Amino acid sequence: MQNLPKGCMRSRDWHSLLARADVQSLSQARRRHEHKHHNDEHVSNNRHSYGVQEYTVVLNNEHAQYWSHVDKGGKFRINGMLAGTYHVRLFQDQREVQATNLVLARGGSAQVSIEAPAEQATMWSIGCHDGRPQGFLNADKFERMHPSDRRMSSWLPRTVSVGDVRQFPMAQIGGLNPTTIRFTLTAKEASSPRTLLIVTTAHVNRGRPFVKVNGTPQRVPPAPSHLQVYGKGVYESRVFTRGAHLLSPATYTFGALQLKAGLNEIVIDVAGRLKPGLSPFLQPTFVYDYVALV
């Protein structure tokens, strides 16, 4: 089991906080469900309380799907599975971290070994790297509010310091809120080329990062693939406007960055075709999970 970054918590704790927050936009049935979940399972704010729930294994093929939490000893067991070949995926919270395959014979049993890779060492990081925009600005509201809601913090351009995740927007919206990250490096730290990682959980209208490092534009990554629905490619035009965040996770890598000793600036905006007359929140956008310099 890997420790969480400071200030991060697992999904169960996160949703217990949402259940006790402003729930005016939730249905009475949802409220009753959350209340029962909170009382019956004694959900705790201590982020270490549910380490047993940190990992989940999902097995699926075209005929069946199964899942199980991994216990404290790193093991799981699923009974009554249909015979077949399964795709096996390991999730750390809501982020897929490893995958393999398993063949199960009729009437037989099988074992599979799958392990989460160690987190990469970083110069700095922003976010929890858990498949959610947890901790970012407005991430505590988007599941209950439209981004245009007046209770949301403003979607304006922002300049943030490393470690100031609460001022870093959960979504990068084309034409609206470019984000500038400022940080300092020593001469030794700046002597080697570095790599910027931007991990996203979803995109709207094929939005992806457009990055400038100390004023120099970096290569623009290819547009994300269309979401496949019943074998047809469709645009993801409404994601965080309806409280969703996990549809098309992606990792963007910007390598061989030439940084300098002292103050550095990285500006992150959105690459994508803006559409005149369309609501800002339907323009090309992506939702953050994690940003790191390695």
Looking at the structure, tell me whether residues 146 and 274 fall in a common domain.
yes
Q: Is the pLDDT of residue 283 over 60?
A: yes
- Give the CATH number of the domain where residue 93 resides: 2.60.40.1120
Going by pLDDT thresholds of 50, 70 and 90, the confidence category of residue 39 is very low
Looking at the structure, tell me whether residues 63 and 140 fall in a common domain.
no
Looking at the structure, tell me whether residues 255 and 132 fall in a common domain.
yes
- Give the CATH number of the domain where residue 270 resides: 2.60.120.260
Quick check: pTM over 0.85? no
What value does the mean pLDDT take over residues 21-47?
39
- Which of 39-53, 193-207, 268-282 is the least confident region? 39-53
Burial call 17-42: b when 16+ CB within 10 Å, e when fewer: eebeeeeeebeeeeeeebeeebeeee
Sheet containing 55-60: order of strands = 65-69, 55-60, 84-92, 95-104
Asked if residue 116 is part of any domain, the answer here is no
Looking at the structure, tell me whether residues 171 and 271 fall in a common domain.
yes
Asked if residue 119 is part of any domain, the answer here is no
